[in-house]
Amino acid sequence: MPLLNLKSLEMRIPQTTQTAVMVIGGAEDKVHGREILRTFFNRSGANDAHIAIIPSASREPAIIGSRYIRIFEEMGAKKIENLDIRERKDCDDSYTQASLEACTGIFLTGGDQLRLCGVLAETPVMDIIRRRIKKGEITLAGTSAGAAVMGHHMIAGGGSGESPNRSLVEMATGLGFIPEVIVDQHFHNRNRMGRLVSAIASHPDRLGIGIDEDTCAMLERDGWLQVLGKGTVTIVDPSKVTHTNEPHVGATEPLTVHNLRLHILSHGDRFHLYRRTALPSEYRYSS
């Protein structure tokens, strides 16, 4: 794209909203600069933040929840609650629902994305979270398994390091906070390009987002996604695909995908989820 067009595009970008949806690739820095966690803290209200941690994906929810409680306490959050939702019936709890109605930020921890969906899907808790995201009242963050559940179609498991094929990826239904995308996490760290391409070949109406560790794709309410952290966010865009053999080959046969668009984004780069437009970091606007 010519430089002039980039500049004019930048001029049309509205200022970012305070709330956002933060999709984290896992293993985010919890010790040193804590850039991603601090951004979540700030977007949730900083010292006025009321943060609700949902560790339902973890086998040790009390332990993982207490770890994030300590981090956000050290940052100075006004109130932090660990909502230990282990079974679907816990979503009917009036205290849990009141906490989610009052909080300014919700953090979904890592673990098993199937467990997380099994506990939260189609519950009063999900109704509250969806409504408050839609109104722009909260910042939502999910790391690792908490990131995987963001799309309507979810990568539930699979292999790595192979050529794309249908057997490489196991799909399930996610929580659909960002229904247009399919997210894969620990992306380049675990060599998962093949399985994300395999997922997108089966669902060409979606956008693939592969997020490295200690990296975040932060989605603003205006549709712009911004990259934070040390790694990259890989965008797999099938909107211009001219041919794929996906419907016609066996599960273990290699996939053919022609004219697949790929973007590799690093810290400060932006991508518009609906316009499918990339904007390099030197044209970023202050947030």
DSSP assignment of 136-193, as one string?
Answer: T--EEEEETHHHHTTSSEEEEEE--SS---GGGEEEEE---SSTTEEEEESTGGGT-H
Is 186 assigned a catalytic role?
yes
Is 35 assigned a catalytic role?
no
C-alpha span between 85 and 146 (Å, rounded): 14
Find the catalytic residue in 58, 99, 153, 186. Answer: 186
Q: What is the dihedral of CA 180, 202, 234, 112, to 10 degrees?
A: 80
Find the catalytic residue in 10, 162, 170, 253. Answer: 162
Residues 6+ apart with CB under 8 A from 62: 55, 82, 84
Is 144 assigned a catalytic role?
yes
| H/E element, 272 | strand 270-272
Query: Token digits for 66?
Result: 């207490």
Could you tell me if 187 and 210 are in contact, meaning their C-beta atoms sit under 8 angstroms apart?
A: yes
Find the catalytic residue in 44, 56, 58, 144. Answer: 144
Give Cα 261 to chain centroid, integer Å.
20
C-alpha span between 67 and 76 (Å, rounded): 15
C-alpha span between 167 and 158 (Å, rounded): 8
- Report, as residue numbers or ranges, the catalytic residues: 144, 162, 186
